[in-house]
Structure 1
Amino acid sequence: MPSAVSSSRGPSAVLRLGRFAVMGAVTVLILVAGVWASWGTAQYVMLTKGRERGAVAVESCGGRVCAGPYSPVSPGSQPRAEVVLEDNAAVAQGRTYAVVMKPGGIEAVRSGPAGVLYAWVPLGGALMLASVVVAGGLLRTRAAWAMGLSGVALVTVAFLVV
């Protein structure tokens, strides 16, 4: 006849395994969402071969975008009277920025180190959020610290460079 101690280990082990599986899935989901959100912009900034590159002199900002004329740098790129950049803390009226054009439109994305770092900021936030799940749900404090500090470092460096 099994004792009370040995029979209680079964459900406890199943609950631990279930918690590990669910928290692991939540962590992966958060990180995939961070990469997905970052890749929407990062692909243009990091994979510039064959894309139109140039500079935008920001003349006006309003709403959520800033606009200005586009001067091409890459071969085959055409000048444009007006392209738009996302209006954020990194874009100021009266300044000129190196950009990469998104295909088939008038939307530009900042390029260079500032553009790359800014594009990966959503991943930095996801790393910080996932670190809480890893620490609390998976009880992996070292991994959580590494993830959290990586996220903080990415966001901080992006803020300083941009």
Structure 2
Amino acid sequence: MIPAMPASASNARARRASVSAVRFGRVAATGVVAVLILFAGVWGSWGTAQHVMLTKGRERGTVEVTSCAGDRCSGPFRPVSAGARARARVEIAQSVAVRKGRTYDVVLKPGTADALRSGPAGVLYAWVPLGGALLLASVVVAGGLRLTRVAWGLALSGAGLLTVAFVAVR
């Protein structure tokens, strides 16, 4: 402290510096949390989306759901792509997107008998985890970063993705 300066001036400066440090810490921590949420949404979606979106070289066809048990449905696979072979039984996860007695366009995961819905409905359904992550990140961005316009953009994107996916799989 300079002897000519009153003690209150140095205390005020130190207080401003600590408030700035806490604010920077809050923004940095909240930004990291928001980015991690979005990364987790992309990571959770990509496991399915890569098979549905990048279909070149994969077995594509249709499956008529004949039976459902637990959280899995099954039926015969009829190929539509070159190199795909017919199978007596493939499995598809039972969800709001699959009903017994209906036929769906599917892509088989390489080396398995697991089928995933393909086409626009399958692509949108694969990205549902990202839609949820967008909604969650919007709350973090609004509350922690205080960026309300960005938060509204994230929330509307997430809600729009979830709504379109719900309508498409019906």
- Aligned identity (percent) is 62
Give the SS at the match of 1:7. Answer: helix
Please say if 1:49 is aligned against 2:56.
yes
Give the SS at the match of 2:88. Answer: strand
Partner of 1:153: 160
Equivalent position amino acid for 2:52 in 1: V
Give the SS at the match of 1:55. Answer: strand
The total of aligned residue pairs comes to 162
Deviation, 1:6, is: 1.8
Give the SS at the match of 2:78. Answer: strand
Cα RMSD after superposing both structures:
0.8
Q: Distance in 2 between matches of 1:130 and 1:5?
A: 35
Q: Distance in 2 between matches of 1:5 and 1:146?
A: 38
Partner of 2:125: 118
TM value normalised by structure 2: 0.94
Unaligned runs of 5+ in 1: none
Question: Which of structures 1 and 2 has the bigger CA Rg?
Answer: 2
Partner of 2:92: 85
Q: Distance in 2 between matches of 1:58 and 1:6?
A: 71
Which one of 12, 23, 48 corresponds to residue 5 of structure 1? 12
Equivalent position amino acid for 1:14 in 2: A
Unaligned runs of 5+ in 2: none
Please say if 1:70 is aligned against 2:77.
yes
Deviation, 1:7, is: 1.8
